[in-house]
Amino acid sequence: MSANYKDMNTLLFPVITEKSYGAKAENNQYVFKISNRATKADVKQAVESIFEVKVEKVQVITVPGKEKRRGAHVGQRPGYRKAVVRLVEGQSIDPEEEA
């Protein structure tokens, strides 16, 4: 499979945190920030075509934006969506090198 334009715009970038590294080590899960219009099927197809692995499960999470205050000024950070992708046992990807 080769990645197309839609696949490249579905996955924006990998989320690299301590919690995501823990999920990677324990459950073979990888976390990506995704497009606001992406569905689970879109994410599954994008990961399989870009990284050439087999996806077992996809969970999509909508993270709400935070309210920020600075004195009398009130603002809002934008929300985003992220996907937790579980790969089939025995497969792995290195998102730092690929994405």
The CATH T-level fold of domain 5-90 is: Alpha-Beta Plaits (3.30.70)
The structure tokens listed for 50 are 């870009």
Who wins on pLDDT, 99 or 3?
3
DSSP assignment of 40-62:
HHHHHHHHHHHH---EEEEEEEE
- Tens digit of each residue's pLDDT (9 = 90 or more) over 70-99: 889 999 999 999 999 999 999 988 755 554
Q: What is the number of helices (H) and of strands (E) in the chain?
A: 4, 6
The structure tokens listed for 47 are 């990961």
- Structure confidence at residue 4 as a pLDDT band (50, 70, 90): confident
pLDDT of residue 58: 97
The domain limits of the chain are: 5-90
